[in-house]
Amino acid sequence: MTGTHVDLSHRPPTHPPLYEAEAVTIPAVRAEPARPGLDSI
């Protein structure tokens, strides 16, 4: 069971990258040309 505990401790680092990916996706969509679908958002 100790092995699982160590895995969880090494898992948190995977969360920050996910947040960064979303932050990059938002600007990328705004950088794209004005589209009918994006205009509604």
Q: What is the pLDDT of residue 7?
A: 54
Dihedral sign of CA atoms 19, 25, 26, 27 in order: positive
Q: What is the pLDDT of residue 1?
A: 53
Eight-class DSSP state of 13:
G
pLDDT by residue for the chain (41 residues), tens digit each? 555 555 555 555 555 555 566 666 666 556 566 666 655 55
CA distance 26 to 34: 14
Q: What is the pLDDT of residue 18?
A: 59
CA distance 32 to 39: 11
CA distance 21 to 15: 10
